[in-house]
Structure 1
Amino acid sequence: MENRNNVTVFILLGLSHNKNIEIICFVLFLFCYIAIWMGNLLIMISITCSQLTEQPMYFFLNYLSLSDLCYTSTVTPKLLTDLLADRKSISYSNCMTQLFTTHLFGGIEIFILTGMAYDRYVAICKPLHYTIIMSRQRCNAIIIACCTGGFIHSASQFLLTIFLPFCGPNEIDHYFCDVYPLLKLACSNTHIIGLLVIANSGLIALVTFVVLMLSYFFILYTIRAYSAESRSKALSTCSSHVMVVVLFFAPALFVYIRPATTFPEDKVFALFYTIIAPMFNPLIYTLRNAEVKNALRKVWCRHTLLEGKSVF
């Protein structure tokens, strides 16, 4: 415990040491963060204020947008601040808090994506039983299970890290506090802890990704017998989800499925699942989904009309 307290502040090395590049990154990521908030809030308000909230797919999409906002907000504001700062520091307690919240909301997002895949599987492969299987009680239970799973995953990562002794170097070669960069700084043998991290983060990401791909394999197998129009509609809905899954899981698997080592490329890959994926999720789901676009039009056109009437 005494050794651990020798380091009270960590220095984040960030994305680059070049000030011009940092300014360019600041402008780019500020735009991304604003787009994330605007896009996800737009989806949440449109779904909540329309009949779409009664449908399980949009019920889950609403929570996915909320988890996107929470997840990216654990990392992006600090990144934006550090890009303009000369000294990129974070206290030990804030570092541990960031580690916990990042894995909490990241875990919730992974499990919600799995719940959405299950919803599409039931809708396409068991359409006659869909309303019974995907009742509101079942949907609420899935969301509770997602939050519980995210908490267990995050608490495991947190407990593996909180007891590590930090008594020497305090420079984290990353733009946020994550397990692997912290293991590199610990002044003790972290081989077993590294294996436990792989078993936790790596296997969760890998197993979830395999389950997601299997669900879409069964969906593709089932829609062979459908009419061309039904096939097109099913593929349109599922392709949006597959794009989101690949955008999120591919870089996450690269970082967490290997042994506990860090590469300079990790920071670039981390940008995909902490900033890029949350930004593209609203675009992917709205541009490729007619029901969401119609809901957006109805809700915001109605809002505009009401404002116009109140003026007169």
Structure 2
Amino acid sequence: MEFKNQTAVSEFLLLGLTDDSELQPLIFCLFLFMSLITMLGNLLIILAISSDSHLHIPMYFFLSSLSLNDICLNITTIPKMLVNIHAQDQSITYRGCLTQSTFVLTFTGLESCLLGVMAYDSFVAICQPLRYQVILTPDVCVLLVLFSLLISTLHALLHTLMALQLSFCTNVEIPHFFCELAQIFKLACSDIFINTLLIYSAANIFFGVPVAGVIFSYTKIISSVFRIPSVAGRYKAFSTCGSHLSVVSFFYGAGFGVYLSSAVTDSSSKNAVASVMYVVIPQMMNPFIYSLRNTEMKTALRHLITGKPFIFLCQ
């Protein structure tokens, strides 16, 4: 196929996970189910934390922020896929595609930052418990979340502005279920060396710093826990951060798997399937991990479901 430059594309085509028409209804039902579970689970987490005054502490403020971010990431990716399958129309506008990729980068970046902040919260709670309320004041907690959102947004806008400088070819097919920036770059006719270098360099820094923070925090946590003389004390300390450690392992493990998948194979369809483990599955599993492993969350959810009056965070 011969390509020619097209500086003003009007739309892209999202090919989804498969071109098998017989599998489309199954994929539609599966992703609709996962989307509803993600929305409901994270919404229940937010409502449970808002309604229980005992959970108005930094740990659960960060958890509710994470749940809100997971809802936003879910809304950014899955609904457009479902609409395309239902309408049998794979198109997405040029502006819509870049907007979607910007939001995906923002919310995945914010998720990484929030997990790093939550690791710091666990570190302060276990290693410096007497100073916990002094260090993590409500104002500090809000600033940490807002700063994470700010740098995540700037990181996403940087790549989007760089993508706006590209010219594209007549081939506008994206072998993915959402507009991933790396896939958009592959469609460009202009030189993408700077864009590719920038996105991988920024990703290594942007995601590497939270990972390093998580590793540092848990190294200190484990060291402090093993100095606790009683077995019951060690168990309580580990249970405090067990849910967060599970979420961290799941999120970064899935992300690392996507990275390895793209490095080992050039198959776009396999990369798209691998991205489900990074953009969809962790956001659906987070509410289950926190509600099943955390006694306080179980109690708050039970009170919420049985009709206990709400006590909102602003009160």
**Contact 2:120–2:213 (CA under 8 A) maintained in structure 1:** no
Percent identical across equivalent pairs? 36
SS in 2 for 1:174: coil
- Whose relative contact order is higher, 1 or 2, with alpha carbons under 8 Å and at least 6 apart? 2
Give 1:156's match in structure 2, choosing from 136, 155, 158.
158
Aligned ranges 1:163-178 → 2 under 5 Å:
163-178=165-180
Give 1:223's match in structure 2, choosing from 218, 222, 225.
225
Aligned ranges 1:29-108 → 2 under 5 Å:
29-108=31-110
Taking the aligned partners of 1:46 and 1:28, their CA distance within structure 2 comes to: 27
Taking the aligned partners of 1:285 and 1:45, their CA distance within structure 2 comes to: 14
**Contact 2:50–2:56 (CA under 8 A) maintained in structure 1:** no
Distance 1:13 1:302, change over 3 A: closer
Q: Shift of residue 213 of structure 1?
A: 2.0
Q: Is 1:123 the counterpart of 2:125 in the alignment?
A: yes
SS in 2 for 1:4: coil
Taking the aligned partners of 2:67 and 2:164, their CA distance within structure 1 comes to: 30
Q: Is 1:273 the counterpart of 2:278 in the alignment?
A: yes
Aligned to 2:252: 249
| Structure 1 residue runs without a partner (length 5+) | 305-312
Q: Shift of residue 152 of structure 1?
A: 1.2
Give 1:184's match in structure 2, choosing from 183, 186, 205.
186
Q: Shift of residue 262 of structure 1?
A: 5.4
* Higher helix residue share: 1
Q: Shift of residue 282 of structure 1?
A: 0.3
Aligned to 2:306: 301
Q: Please, what TM-score do these two structures have when normalized by structure 2?
A: 0.90
Taking the aligned partners of 2:50 and 2:147, their CA distance within structure 1 comes to: 22
Aligned to 1:20: 22
Q: Please, what TM-score do these two structures have when normalized by structure 1?
A: 0.91
Letter of the 1:302 partner, please give it: G
| Structure 2 residue runs without a partner (length 5+) | 310-315
1:52-71 Cα deviation digits (max 9, x unpaired): 44211001011111000001
Aligned ranges 1:133-144 → 2 under 5 Å:
133-144=135-146
Letter of the 1:282 partner, please give it: P
Structural RMSD (CA): 2.1
**Contact 1:47–1:62 (CA under 8 A) maintained in structure 2:** yes
1:239-265 Cα deviation digits (max 9, x unpaired): 211221122222323445877x95432
1:102-151 Cα deviation digits (max 9, x unpaired): 11122111111111110000000111111101111111111111111111
Letter of the 1:237 partner, please give it: T
Taking the aligned partners of 1:123 and 1:194, their CA distance within structure 2 comes to: 40
Equivalenced residue count is: 303
